[in-house]
Amino acid sequence: MRTIFYIVQKEFLQIFRNRMMLPIIFVIPVVQLLILSYAVTFEIKNIRLFIADSDNSVASRNLSSHLRSSPFYNIVDETPDPSVGTDLLQSGKIHQMLVIPRGFEKDLALANKAQVQIITDAINGSAAALMNSYTMSVVNDYNRAIIAEIAPDAGQPVAVTWSYWFNPELDYKTYMVPGILVLLVTIIGMFLSGMNVVREKETGTIEQINVTPIRKFEFIAGKLIPFWIIALFELAFGLILAKFVFNIPILGNVFLIFSVASVYLIAVMGIGLFISTITDTQQQSMFIAWFVLVIFILMSGLFTPVESMPQWARNLNLLNPIAYFIAIIRMIMLKGSVFQDIINNFLILSFYGLSMLLLSVWRYRKTT
């Protein structure tokens, strides 16, 4: 145990003697929280819409005025000729085009049935789906207005009321910030701890360590503990920022968040250490860590919902510690979940952490 203490002491001296370290610890969380939580949003405002109204009737103008009055649309142009809109779509100047065919009003009056066409630039699939559903709901509004005019007593067969739980204002920041906190501790845990061991390989000091009677678990523990403490401190700093700067609700128990984080960190640091035991230079280890991290982050459900991923991708996520922690931290912070709610994920993370730790202790060789 004394040996571990001496390693931890030495690591802290080296960490804080590195002039880049303090800025990294304090600047990264602020920048990440600010940029990611404000910039990354799924809400779509300013849909650039083109209306090709070939009918030019009272009915068609009524429909387009519905769209004009919505705050989400920016009507780029309105001409009877759809080919103008096709060109605009092609050149990327508009997102969406609404085509009202000739005879729209007549069909509506005679057959009680008319057609319009919505064409959406679907390069970004999820944005396209969202714009499509916005426009559909505007058209539905218009439908209801017509029905009300024709048959005022008809009413609506099924009335739907809704409420949004856990994030009533559908604030995107509320959804993003807990996930970004996870990213924060992950980056510290995975990169710094991994880099550190490889650096000793590069400077040659590892050889000097390897001729001492130090035990493998002592070495690994001595390397983990400092970054584990720094990452938990980082989480505390991030939570304070989240609470007081971004007004993100923290409904659940803060200590529960920290206990999950403690276990989670062991898992990601274990991955970082494992990478460092199979690489010889900081460059190699950086590359592999980055590769692993990018996949984990993109699949984690931070930016895209896990539920909409194909089954094989969801299965792959069973191996993704970031996905577990993001799910847990959102539950605790936004729903106020208690330990019983997250126990399964918690146990999986514990198992994960233990395995990664054993793996890196096993892989670390004092004798080659």
Alpha helices in 70-171 (DSSP H): 82-90, 104-111, 125-150
For the chain, the C-alpha Rg in angstroms (whole number) is: 28
- List 69, 156, 161, 367, residue binding other proteins (CB under 8 A): 367
Q: How many residues bind other proteins (CB under 8 A)?
A: 26
CB of 358 to other proteins, least distance (A): 19
Task: Specify the DSSP class assigned to residue 334.
Answer: I
Piece of the chain touching other proteins by CB under 8 A; list 200-208, 257-265, 275-283, 325-333: 200-208
If one asks whether residue 7 binds other proteins (CB under 8 A), the answer comes out as: yes
If one asks whether residue 281 binds other proteins (CB under 8 A), the answer comes out as: no
If one asks whether residue 106 binds other proteins (CB under 8 A), the answer comes out as: no
Are 297 and 183 within 8 A, CB to CB?
yes
CA distance 129 to 134: 9
CA distance 139 to 81: 21
Which residues on neighbouring strands pair with residue 120, listed in sequence order?
96
If one asks whether residue 208 binds other proteins (CB under 8 A), the answer comes out as: yes
SS3 of residue 101 by DSSP: coil
Q: Which of 116, 99, 119, 94 is nearest to 107 (CA)?
A: 116
CB of 359 to other proteins, least distance (A): 21
- List 69, 211, 244, 310, residue binding other proteins (CB under 8 A): 211
Nearer to other proteins, 93 or 216 (CB): 216
- List 1, 2, 111, 162, residue binding other proteins (CB under 8 A): 2
- List 125, 168, 213, 310, residue binding other proteins (CB under 8 A): 213
If one asks whether residue 124 binds other proteins (CB under 8 A), the answer comes out as: no
Angle at alpha carbon of residue 222, lines to 221 and 228, rounded to 5°: 75
CA distance 96 to 135: 9
Are 342 and 260 within 8 A, CB to CB?
yes
- List 117, 140, 212, 344, residue binding other proteins (CB under 8 A): 212
Alpha helices in 48-90 (DSSP H): 58-69, 82-90
If one asks whether residue 205 binds other proteins (CB under 8 A), the answer comes out as: yes
Nearer to other proteins, 16 or 26 (CB): 16
CA distance 197 to 60: 69
Piece of the chain touching other proteins by CB under 8 A; list 34-42, 57-65, 163-171, 208-216: 208-216
Piece of the chain touching other proteins by CB under 8 A; list 204-212, 240-248, 295-303, 346-354: 204-212
CA distance 133 to 153: 28
Nearer to other proteins, 106 or 215 (CB): 215
- List 27, 129, 154, 209, residue binding other proteins (CB under 8 A): 209
CA distance 227 to 231: 6
Binders in 12-31 for other proteins, by CB under 8 A: 13-14, 17-18
Binders in 234-273 for other proteins, by CB under 8 A: none
If one asks whether residue 207 binds other proteins (CB under 8 A), the answer comes out as: yes
If one asks whether residue 167 binds other proteins (CB under 8 A), the answer comes out as: no
Which residues on neighbouring strands pair with residue 52, listed in sequence order?
79, 99
CB proximity list for 71: less than 8 A, separation 6 or greater:
45
If one asks whether residue 70 binds other proteins (CB under 8 A), the answer comes out as: no
Which residues on neighbouring strands pair with residue 299, listed in sequence order?
none
- List 139, 214, 232, 254, residue binding other proteins (CB under 8 A): 214
Q: Which two tokens stand for residue 307?
A: 């539920």
**243 burial type by CB count under 10 A (0-12 exposed, 13-18 middle, 19+ buried):** middle
- List 6, 233, 287, 339, residue binding other proteins (CB under 8 A): 6
- List 68, 102, 363, 366, residue binding other proteins (CB under 8 A): 366
Nearer to other proteins, 132 or 210 (CB): 210
If one asks whether residue 340 binds other proteins (CB under 8 A), the answer comes out as: no
Are 255 and 236 within 8 A, CB to CB?
no
Binding site for other proteins (CB under 8 A): 2-3, 5-7, 9-10, 13-14, 17-18, 203-205, 207-215, 366-368
